[in-house]
Amino acid sequence: MVETTPTSHTFQVDLRGLVDLLSHHLYSSPKVYVRELLQNAVDAITARAQIEPGFDPGAREVAIVTDGKRLRITDPGVGLTLAEVHKLLATIGGSSKRDEEIEGARRDFLGQFGIGLLACFTVASVITVTSRSAKDPAAPVVRWAARDDGSYTVTEVPLAEHPEPGTTVELVARRGEDWLQPKRVADLAREYGSLLPVRITVSDGGTPIDISDTPPMWEREHPNPTARRLALNTYCEQVLGFPPLDVIDLDVPLAGIKGVAFVLPHATSPSTRPAHRVHLKRMLLTDTADNLVPEWAFFVRCVIDTDALRPTASRESLYDDEALAVARDAIGAQVREWISRLAAEDPTRLEAFLAVHELGVKALARHDLDLLAAMLPWLRFETTAGHTNLPDFARAYQPVYLASSVDEYRQVAQIAAAQGIGVVNGGYTYDAELVQALPRLDPQVKVEALQPGVISASLDPVDTGTELALRSFLNAARARLDAVDVDVVVREFNPVSVPALLLDDRESRRERQRAEAEAEADDLWGGILASIKQHAPRAQLVLNHRNPTVRRIAGIGDPQLAGTAVESLYGQALLMSHRPLRSADTALLNRSFMNLLEHITRD
C-alpha cells in the first residue's frame, strides 16, 4: 500500500544477518577474536585507572584460561553496571570509548566502533559476560549471555560469582572449532598482546604462562650500543625472519610513532608489497601494513608502535588519512637522514648497503638533490671510462654524453672510448634521470644526448687518393646494402680492431621498422603505413680503413665476393649493436654466410 502522507519509520534490522556480517565478513581471519578480547580487557583497565586514583595497570593481570571448548578471560577493569550492559553490550555499535564526556581520554582506548565483541562469534556460539562495576560498589554482578542467532539474556547473579570489580568473558566453542585450543590461544595472545602494558597470562588449567614481553625491544635499556644492536638483530630475525643489514631508529612524535626500520639484507624489487609490523597502543594491528613508508624506501621493513594513527574498522590496517601521510613523510626523512649519515661517517657500511640496494637509492636520489649530492661519489655508472662515479667522470670528460639505451651505448662505447668521448650508459633504470640532474648540482657540467653525429664527426675521412681508389668497391658495397636501406662510407678510426660500425639514429630506426611493417602488411594497413613514411637519414655502415681486413676486402677484385664480404661486415656490425634483426637482415646474413662457405669450399 502506498501512503499519501509521509510517516516516519526506523530501519528494521535482521540481527542474525548483522551478526553474521560483522563476525564473519569484516575480518580476514577468526583469529582476531583474541585481539578483540585483549583489547576490551586492556581498555577496561585503562578506564578504571582514569576513575580510581592509585590504580596501577602495570601491576594488574589479565588471565586467560581455556580447555579448548570453553575460554574465559578475566580482567580487573572498570566493569559494567546493568544499565551499561543494556546500553553497550546489547547495542551493536554501542561503545563507551567515544562518549562525549571522556572525549579527551578517547585516544587512550584501543576500541571505538562498538562491534569488536561480535568478532567472538566467528569461533563461539555463545558469549557470556559476567561483570562487576568498579564505579559503583553497590552495583550487583550482571550476566549478559548472547547467542549467535542474535538473542541474549541479562540477569543479576550472586556477588560470589564475581567478587572483585572487573569482567569475565566466557566463550563456548562452536562445534568442531579448534580456535580455543590452549596452544593456539597462547600463540595468538603472544602475537597480538606481548607488548601490552598489562601482564597477560594464558593457562590450560595448569600453571599460567606469562606471554608479556615488554617494554618493546627498541625501548629497552642496554649496557652499550653494540649490545642493543645485537638484541635488535635477534629480534628482527625472530619477528621478521631475516638478519638486518642495519637498523634505523624511528621517532615521529607528531604521529606518536616509535620503533625501528630494519634494512633488508637482500635486494628487493620496488614493486614487492612491503609488510610492516604496526602496533597500535602496543597491540599488534597488522604485520602486513603496506602504506607506512614512502615507496622509495622499499629496502626497509619497520616495526613500530603508534598511539595516534587510526585503524580501519577491521583493525587490520591503518586508515590512509592525512596523519598517515605526515607520518610516512617523517619516516622517509629519517631513512634519508640515515643514508646521509652513513655517507658522511661510515663509507664502508654504505658500500655494503649499496652493494645490495643501489637501485633503491638511485630511485630515492631522483627526488632529492641533497641526497644525490651526498650519494654521487658512491653510486656507480657504466661509462666509457669503466664503472665509475659521475663526479670523477664529469671532471675528466666534458660534455658528458648520455646514451639513452643500453643498445645505443653498446653500439658506440668502444669507438667513443678510443676517441676520448665520454659516454654514460643511460639505459639502466634511473641512470638517465640522475645524469640529467648533474648540471643542477654543478652548473659547470654539461650533459648532452648522444647523437650519431658526435661519433661520426670524430671519424677521420680517408685521403682523396684512397677515396678515389676505393670508388668501385664502394659502389658495389652500396648496391649490396641498398636492399637493407643502409649507406656505406669509409673512414679511419680507432680502435683498429673494429672493422665496421653501424650508425643510425632513432628516427631512421623507426623508419626502418615502419617500412618493414608496411612490407608485411595487407593492402589497407600497408597503405596507412605508407602514408606516414618519413625521409629519415639512412643508417650508415662506416668501414674502418685502418683495419687490415677491411683493406684486404676493399682490394678484392671479384665484385661478387667483395659484396659478400661487405654483407658480412654489415652483419657483424649489426650483431654488435644488439639491435633486433629485421627479416631482410636475417636473409642477408644467411646469404652472406652461405656464400662465404661456398667460396672457401670451392675447388
Ligand X SMILES: Nc1ncnc2c1ncn2[C@@H]1O[C@H](COP(=O)(O)OP(=O)(O)OP(=O)(O)O)[C@@H](O)[C@H]1O
What is the contact surface with ligand X in residues (CB under 6 A)? 36, 39-41, 44, 75, 77-80, 88-89, 94-97, 111-117, 167
By C-alpha distance, which of 250, 257, 245, 294 is closest to 274?
Answer: 294
Treating both helix axes as pointing N-terminal to C-terminal, what angle do 559-576 and 471-481 enclose, rounded to 10 degrees? 60
Residues contacting 19, CB < 8 A, separation 6+? 118, 121, 148, 149, 150
- Measured from the CB atom, the residue of 36 and 305 that comes closer to ligand X is 36
How many residues are there in the chain? 603
Cα distances from 211 to residues 63, 191, 235, in angstroms, run: 10, 9, 16
- Measured from the CB atom, the residue of 22 and 400 that comes closer to ligand X is 22
Give dist(CA 164, CA 133) in Å, integer. 9
| Least gap, CB of 404 to ligand X (angstroms) | 54
- Sheet of strand 539-544, all strands in order from the earlier edge strand to the far edge: 460-461, 486-492, 539-544, 500-503
DSSP line for 445-480: --EEE--HHHHHTTSEEPPHHHHHHTHHHHHHHHHH
Residues paired with residue 251 on neighbouring β-strands, in sequence order? 258
- Measured from the CB atom, the residue of 312 and 404 that comes closer to ligand X is 312
- Is 316 known to sit in a ligand binding site? no
> All 3 cell numbers of residue 164?
572483585
What per-residue string of b and e applies to 416-443 under the rule 16 or more CB within 10 Å gives b? bbbbebbbbbbbbebbbebbebbeebee
- Is 518 known to sit in a ligand binding site? no
CB 245 within 8 Å of CB 263: yes
- Measured from the CB atom, the residue of 311 and 360 that comes closer to ligand X is 311
| Least gap, CB of 359 to ligand X (angstroms) | 41
Q: What DSSP state is assigned to residue 578?
A: T
- Is 475 known to sit in a ligand binding site? no
The helix, strand and coil proportions of the chain, stated in percent and rounded to the nearest 5, come to 45, 20, 35
- Measured from the CB atom, the residue of 41 and 211 that comes closer to ligand X is 41
| Least gap, CB of 96 to ligand X (angstroms) | 3
- Measured from the CB atom, the residue of 109 and 430 that comes closer to ligand X is 109
| Least gap, CB of 15 to ligand X (angstroms) | 14
| Least gap, CB of 84 to ligand X (angstroms) | 7
Locus of grid cell 676520448: 420
- Measured from the CB atom, the residue of 115 and 350 that comes closer to ligand X is 115
Give dist(CA 37, CA 41) in Å, integer. 6
| Least gap, CB of 138 to ligand X (angstroms) | 18
| Least gap, CB of 314 to ligand X (angstroms) | 10
- Is 167 known to sit in a ligand binding site? yes
| Least gap, CB of 157 to ligand X (angstroms) | 16
Locus of grid cell 550476566: 143
Locus of grid cell 654524453: 401
- Measured from the CB atom, the residue of 33 and 353 that comes closer to ligand X is 33
Omega into 57 within 30° of 0, i.e. cis?
Answer: no
Binding residues for ATP: 36, 40, 75, 167
Binding residues: 36, 40, 75, 167
